[in-house]
Structure 1
Amino acid sequence: MRVGLIVIGIILLAAGIWVVAGHASYRDTNTVAQIGSAKLTATHDRAIPQWVGIAGIVIGGLLTVGGIARKR
């Protein structure tokens, strides 16, 4: 369990840093107009909010420190 906490913590830290650095985004598709069976859609690239990255860094740091400090 200790190694698992450390590994998950490091993964969350790396993902949080990636988001805060501004490299993380996702695609969002909206239907602009629909007439009968014909659809007009628009796809946008949206950035993941920075607070998600900060939360990942904090939680990942806590899990990593907790995994290292945990006694058997």
Structure 2
Amino acid sequence: MRAVLIIIGIILLGAGAWVVFGHGSYQTTDTLVQIGSAKVTATHDKAVPEWIGVAGIIIGAVIAIGGFLKKG
């Protein structure tokens, strides 16, 4: 259990740092026009909000520290 907490904490730390440094993004697709079976779509890249990265760093640090300090 201790090793699992440490690994999850480190993964969250890394993912949070990735988002904070501006590399986290996702794509959304919007349908602009649809006539019958034909449609025109647009795909947009959107950045993941920075607060999610900060939260990932904080939660990951707490979980990893908890794993390091846990006895067993």
**TM bucket, shorter chain:** over 0.9
- TM-score, normalization: structure 1? 0.96
Task: Give, in whole Å, the separation in 1 of the partners of 2:23 and 2:31.
Answer: 26
Unaligned runs of 5+ in 1: none
Per the alignment, residue 64 of structure 1 pairs with 64
Unaligned runs of 5+ in 2: none
Distance 1:45 1:26 in 2: 6
Q: How many residues in Structure 1 have an aligned counterpart in Structure 2?
A: 72
Superposition misfits of 4+ residues, deviation over 3 angstroms: none
- d(CA) in 2 for partners of 1:29, 1:38: 15
TM-score (norm 2): 0.96
Identity within the alignment, %: 61
